[in-house]
Structure 1
Amino acid sequence: MSSRKTSHLYALLVIGMIAISFSAIFVKWSEAPAPVIGMYRLLLTNLVLLPWVWSYRAEWRSIQRRDWLRMTMSGFFLGLHFLLWMESLRHTTVASSTALLTLEPILVMAGSFWLFKQRTTSRAVFGIVISLFGVILIGWGDLKISGQALYGDLLSVLGAIAVVIHMLLGQDLRQRVSSYVYNFTVFLVAGACLAVYNISAGYAMTGYGAKEWVLFSLMAIVPTVLGHMLFNWLLKYMNATSISMGVLGEPVGASILAWILLGEAMTPLQMLACLLLIFGVWVFLVNDRKAPQSVSTTADVGTA
């Protein structure tokens, strides 16, 4: 891959990183239940993508049953991720919740090695260590071993595990399925799963004010289309670990935005930690190896 194309891919990764940083802010601003926010975020994204469905009709028909099953599983775990993580923001701070999500690259790297035999360099691993140290410093003042905050922290960890499964399934599927078809299917399944949950839990599906609908729409456009959808597209050209490392930048962006827009405290130590985290991500991306374009072990993914 040419250095120019690689630079463009990293630029898109940064755009996605900035976009997902707004997610926690929109959730904090909204007064709607977390599962309702997640549902409308996904279904409104599908509404944006709907005009192009017909042009992909040939690909829809050619997808094998095995891949339909895997896309359904990927969508389920994405919906579960949104449910757990958005709910965590009701119980803990933005810095703490997003910091715990950074377990993702470690779990993705382990899963990629196990499923796809993907290796990385020792320098790239060093970059992960630097970044995680920065993340620990960001969330240090917010991680409280007490009832409500601990519950929120646990939800964030479980949300990280769910999104790792979603990412690993996506890395396999994106070798055979176009970005549009993958995104539309996964978002639709995730939104439908959240709709079923909302109905069973008795949450109101309508009756929300104009402010809430604006926030639902912003969640669809900014962190979903410009964030998650962009990451799913990048899975064709970058490995899941690299993209997950880019997600490490979310605590930086989210913490800064929470400080500016929500008035959540940000100490000088956390500011220094943000710079350390960014440096660690840069070290990883410079030294990581590109994932192979073909995956020889795809038959083993998602069949357990």
Structure 2
Amino acid sequence: MDEIREPLKQEVKSILLPITAIMGAVILWGSSFAGTRVALRSLEPGQLVWIRQIFAVLAILPFAGKLYPRHYRKGDWKLLIPMVLFQPCLYFFFESNALVYTTSSQAGVVAAVVPVLVALGAWMFLKETIGIKTIMGMVLSIGGVVVLTLSQSSGSQASNPVLGNSLEFMAMIFGAANMVIVKKMSGRYSPFTLTAMQMVTGFIFFSPAAFSLFRTSREIWTPELIILLVYMGVFVSLGAFALYNWGMSHLPASKASVFINLVPVTAILFGWILIGEGLNPVQTGAAIVVILGVLLSQSRRIKRNWRL
């Protein structure tokens, strides 16, 4: 029995735990949409991102000694610096500006290219092979995301969709490049160390927004807003990045990135459950298609685990 149990435990650790971690990140990221809508009633986008980074860094401080990169290799800065600049810095900068010019639905369609960009980057730089089921799963989930985002109503017209969608595409390039670098560097550094680097860099990058906070009214700082900001910083920023980076370190980058297409699904579900936003039949069907696409992309691993 021990000879059977030990391989089973190893299989669970190598497959199910990383998938669970990534799903946890997806759920946290999905929950942030409703929270962001509420927070932006009182704060500007730059202020919100910076305050989130403050709480993330504060949560890291007690573990700073363990998260310090002790085994630095000469020349790693050539990858570490782009990694932390690509995300959260440039990713959030381009995406926040993109939504000024385009609708969230159009931005969601553009965001669906992330798994393709990551798979392409992993094939080019990490020498990962891409199976036919992974490709089919990507196509299916991307198609579901396109339908999901286009089926949402927009309250305002895009002022400059070409510019906005171009900025969103740039954000997706930076996000995908970050994922590929995280996958490569996770073989040398702890995923939690890489996450800490991202949070600290984001705090520094967005710190100019601190000056504009002096112009805000004291009345906005309600207990509800503070609790929301703590949640967004500790759980959505720090927690989600830590879970995703850890999961990414245990799965091929091309497979892990497909789960990103579940973020719009969870965002709509949270909007429906928490703030009463409608979930029409088209959105429900599209969400199911996205989920099926993700499952298809992971089917070989799931089937192998079931046989044990």
- Structure 2 alignment gaps of length 5 or more: 1-6, 303-308
Deviation of 1:134 after TM superposition, in Å, equals 0.6
Which residue number in structure 2 is paired with residue 44 of structure 1?
Answer: 55
Shift of 1:129: 0.9
Q: How far did 1:259 drift? A: 3.4
- The alignment partner of 1:248 has SS state of helix
Match of 1:257 among 270, 279, 291: 270
The worse-fitting range, judged by mean Cα deviation, of 87-96 and 42-51 is: 87-96
1:233-252 correspondence to structure 2 within 5 Å = 233-252=246-265
* Alignment pair present for 1:162 and 2:174: yes
Aligned residues of 1:92 and 1:148 also touching (Cα < 8 A): yes
Check the 8 A contact 1:38/1:83 in 2, yes or no.
Answer: no
Deviates more, 1:63-72 or 1:29-38: 63-72
1:120 is matched with 130
Aligned residues: 284
Larger radius of gyration: 2
- In 2, Cα distance between the equivalents of 1:159 and 1:259? 27
The equivalent position to 2:92 in structure 1, one of 62, 82, 88, is: 82
C-alpha separation between the residues in 2 aligned to 1:264 and 1:103?
A: 26
- 2:16 is aligned with 1:7: yes
d(CA) in 1 for partners of 2:269 and 2:17? 25
Q: What is the match of residue 63 of structure 1?
A: 72
Structure 1 pair 232/128, CA: closer, same or farther in 2 (3 Å)?
same
Structure 1 unaligned runs (5+)?
A: 290-304
Q: Distance in 2 between matches of 1:107 and 1:249?
A: 16
Residue 201 of structure 2 aligns with which residue?
Answer: 189
Q: Percent identity?
A: 18
Query: Any idea what SS the aligned residue of 1:204 has?
Result: helix
Residue 109 (structure 1) aligned to one of 107, 119, 141 = 119
Q: What TM-score, normalized by structure 2, do the two folds share?
A: 0.81
Q: Separation in 1 of the partners of 2:35 and 2:170?
A: 21
What RMSD, in angstroms, separates the aligned Cα atoms of the two structures? Answer: 2.8
| Amino acid of the structure 2 residue aligned with 1:25 | A
Q: Render the CA deviation track for 1:172-228: whole Å, top value 9, x for unaligned.
A: 1111011232111121112211224x36xx633674513443222111123223311
1:249 to partner: Cα distance: 0.5
Opposite residue 158 of structure 2, the aligned amino acid is G
